[in-house]
């Protein structure tokens, strides 16, 4: 569409007008400085210490409860919290593995008490009554809601086995009780939190830290159920954190990008993909950064404190569109799926040859 002479004159006048130039420059400078300030805020956050663990009862006889404590991130949380001076309550599925980690803690920190509790959080009849009985006797200062389940490999929703779908929702979010809208929210994350929050409120101190995932930051195609379950705990953590404001109980959703583990199926670490030990203990990482938002700039009760993960979240939150990131994640998971299928085919061929 061509402009009339009058329209052209108006446009030329606006471009030439110093006021227009000034206004455009101000808008541009404001937009740019909001990005610069947000990035600077993340850098400052990464350099400052978090709330000291003594606020939650470290070295004062308090207990840290860790779910999914026998492997990966949870196992290292247990070791680090014992090192920080918490007695440690270890809850996981396999009794022998629990005993192993408890012995390791006792050997390393003889003054630290441990208790183990074998429970399958995916079971419909998981015995929360006996878990409650055990926890009620303890001064719980910290709860690490770490247990989680993901897919065996990225796959389309319609292909996800029903049992996997139920287990992911059951462990990461809720169980049948909640799905059927019965009274109490009952699952590993919600239920364990419900068991310890009243005691924390009465003692006016506590930390509820739930391990979240970048799968909730950007929806993850081919991991749709896992991604949705992590979005649930993210929203829930922010709401709960606000509810508990002023009670002395800190709530934090720990946003996690890839970490070397059985769940992620990644074996080689890098700057962006740390081992659980590096993730929990390195300077600038999780336990020294409680209450620090890091890469989750301006998002209350969410923390991305690990120096290799924080810039990734900042970039995702500030650059490009949601559609771009959704497409990026789709490509990433299609690629992981292709490689998983190829690996399976190679292994099947090898097994057939060996027969």
* Catalytic site includes residue 132: no
Of residues 5 and 262, the one with the C-beta less far from ligand NAP: 262
* Catalytic site includes residue 279: no
The least distance separating ligand NAP from the CB of residue 326, rounded to whole angstroms, comes to 18
Bridge partners of 142? 64, 207
Can you say how many angstroms the Cα of residue 290 is from the centroid of all Cα atoms in its chain? 13
The least distance separating ligand NAP from the CB of residue 23, rounded to whole angstroms, comes to 44
Of residues 205 and 261, the one with the C-beta less far from ligand NAP: 261
Cβ distance 248 to 181 under 8 Å?
A: no
Sheet of strand 206-211: strand arrangement = 114-118, 87-92, 63-67, 140-145, 206-211, 249-254, 302-303
Which of 109, 151, 226, 306 is catalytic? The answer is 226
Q: Give me the DSSP letters along 244-266.
A: TTTTTEEEEEE-----SBTTTTB
The least distance separating ligand NAP from the CB of residue 16, rounded to whole angstroms, comes to 54
Which of helix, strand or coil describes residue 149?
coil
The least distance separating ligand NAP from the CB of residue 90, rounded to whole angstroms, comes to 9
Cβ distance 123 to 131 under 8 Å?
A: no
Of residues 205 and 286, the one with the C-beta less far from ligand NAP: 286
Contacts of residue 262, defined as CB under 8 A and 6 or more positions apart, other chains included, come to 71, 72
Chain residues that interact with ligand NAP, rule: CB under 6 A: 68-74, 92-94, 97, 119-122, 146-150, 171, 211, 213, 256, 258-259, 261-264
Of residues 150 and 205, the one with the C-beta less far from ligand NAP: 150
Cβ distance 206 to 250 under 8 Å?
A: yes
The least distance separating ligand NAP from the CB of residue 215, rounded to whole angstroms, comes to 7
Of residues 103 and 202, the one with the C-beta less far from ligand NAP: 103
Which of 109, 149, 151, 230 is catalytic? The answer is 230
Active site residues: 226, 230
């Amino acid at each position: 569409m061509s402009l009339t002479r009058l329209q052209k004159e108006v446009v030329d006048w606006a471009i030439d007008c110093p006021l227009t130039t000034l206004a455009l420059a101000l808008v541009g400078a404001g937009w740019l400085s909001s990005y610069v300030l947000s990035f600077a805020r993340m850098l400052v956050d990464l350099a400052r210490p978090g709330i000291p663990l003594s606020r939650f009862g470290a070295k004062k006889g308090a207990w840290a409860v860790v779910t999914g404590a026998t492997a990966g991130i949870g196992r290292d949380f247990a070791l680090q919290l014992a090192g920080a001076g918490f007695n440690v309550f270890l809850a996981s599925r396999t009794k022998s593995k629990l005993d192993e980690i408890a012995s390791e803690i006792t050997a390393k920190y003889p003054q630290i008490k441990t208790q183990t509790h074998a429970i399958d959080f995916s079971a419909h009849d998981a015995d929360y009554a006996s878990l409650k009985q055990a926890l009620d006797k303890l001064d719980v200062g910290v709860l690490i809601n770490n247990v989680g389940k993901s897919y065996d490999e990225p796959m389309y929703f319609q292909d996800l086995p029903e049992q996997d779908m139920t287990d992911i929702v059951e462990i990461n979010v809720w169980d049948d009780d909640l799905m059927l809208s019965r009274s109490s929210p009952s699952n590993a994350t919600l239920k364990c939190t419900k068991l310890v929050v009243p005691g924390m409120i009465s003692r006016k101190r506590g930390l509820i830290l739930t391990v979240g995932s970048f799968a909730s930051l950007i929806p993850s195609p081919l991991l749709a159920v896992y991604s949705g379950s992590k979005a649930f705990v993210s929203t829930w953590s922010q709401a709960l954190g606000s509810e508990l404001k002023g009670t002395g109980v800190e709530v934090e959703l720990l946003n996690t990008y890839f970490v070397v583990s059985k769940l992620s199926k990644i074996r080689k670490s890098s700057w962006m993909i740390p081992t659980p030990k590096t993730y929990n203990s390195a300077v600038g990482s999780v336990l020294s950064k409680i209450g620090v938002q890091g890469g989750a700039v301006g998002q209350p009760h969410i923390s991305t404190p690990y120096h290799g993960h924080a810039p990734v979240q900042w970039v995702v939150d500030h650059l490009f569109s949601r559609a771009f990131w959704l497409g990026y994640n789709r490509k990433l998971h299609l690629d992981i799926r292709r490689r998983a299928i190829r690996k399976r085919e190679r292994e099947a061929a090898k097994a057939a040859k060996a027969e």
